[in-house]
Structure 1
Amino acid sequence: MLAEIATIPLQFDTPFAGELFLLGRILFGVTLAFMGLNHFMDVDTMAGYAEFKGLPAPRLSVVASGLVLVLGGLGVAAGAFPVLAAGALAVFLLVSAVTMHDFWSMDDPEEKQSEMTSFLKNVYGAGAALALLAVGGTAWPYAVGLGLF
């Protein structure tokens, strides 16, 4: 029989833990926010790709996904509304991995590899967002402290 597993609260009392957590949030969040800005800087091209992939309302989808990336990324980096930011990013990254980067349906080896790389980037990004979501209800060091939960 397994011993009962006790949950301990998230602690940042080891040397540089808070600073490393902040650096990780900044690297993750700002990178996603930058990707979101790219959605706004090249809406027509991205809308064409979204239409090619069969998304309804491709232009609106590009703008909406850009907003999720920018606001979610900045929210994670700043520690503002962390549950909402990390949750929105996790959902977006998982959904877009499957809908936009369906490498399994590609015949061309180069296109298949490119889509697989994008798919895997979205999946590991979703993993990071889920990890942040799991600790979103705790106090984050160097965070602005705004949140719903």
Structure 2
Amino acid sequence: MAITGTAGAFLLVGRVLFGGLIAFQGVNHFTNVDQLTGYADAKGVPAPRVGVVASGVMLILGGLSILAGAYATIGAGMVAVFLLVTSPAIHDFWAASEEQAQSEMTDFIKNGELLGAALTFLAISGTEWGYAVGIGLF
């Protein structure tokens, strides 16, 4: 069954917002690679620069995949894996200083919300999306 009509239009808007902003976050990994590498290093991430670059690639490819509706299972899966791995490793509010705990908890919660959206796109990736490239969707 295809997701078309009003539901397809809402799905398109959701894809543009979610996929586009996820891809933008990936671009941010490259434009701020030194700053993000320092942050990842401070969090104890092994090979932090490699991690920042690899996660940037995952976010760009995953976001564009969802946005275009092409290989969305792979794209949504990449975004979900990124969020599952980085959220507890980077936004460990339970181990943060008192000054940083609230900010880290907010970022952890936001990542949980994004994970919910990624899993939703993953769940519907086996259906035909209206207004999509349609490769690898059904």
**TM-score normalised by length of structure 2:** 0.94
Percentage of identical aligned residues: 54
Residues 73 and 125 in structure 2, CA contact (< 8 A), matched pair in contact too = yes
**1:100-132: CA deviations, max 9, x gaps?**
000011232x41111011101111101100011
The answer for the alignment partner of 1:136 in structure 2 is 125
The list of structure 1 runs, each at least 4 consecutive aligned residues, that deviate by more than 2 angstroms after superposition, is none
CA distance in 2, matches of 1:16, 1:29: 19
- Deviation at 1:42? 0.8
Aligned match of 1:16: 6
Within the alignment, does 1:87 sit opposite 2:77 as a pair?
A: yes
2:8 & 2:45 partners in 1: Cα distance? 40
Higher helix share: 2
Shift of 1:12: 3.0
Aligned to 2:61: 71
Structure possessing the higher radius of gyration over alpha carbons: 1
Instruction: Answer 1 or 2: higher relative contact order, Cα 8 Å, separation at least 6.
Output: 2
- CA distance, structure 1, for counterparts of residue 128 and residue 137 of structure 2: 12
| Separation in 2, partners of 1:41, 1:50 | 15
Root-mean-square deviation (Å): 1.4
Gaps of 5+ in 1: 1-8
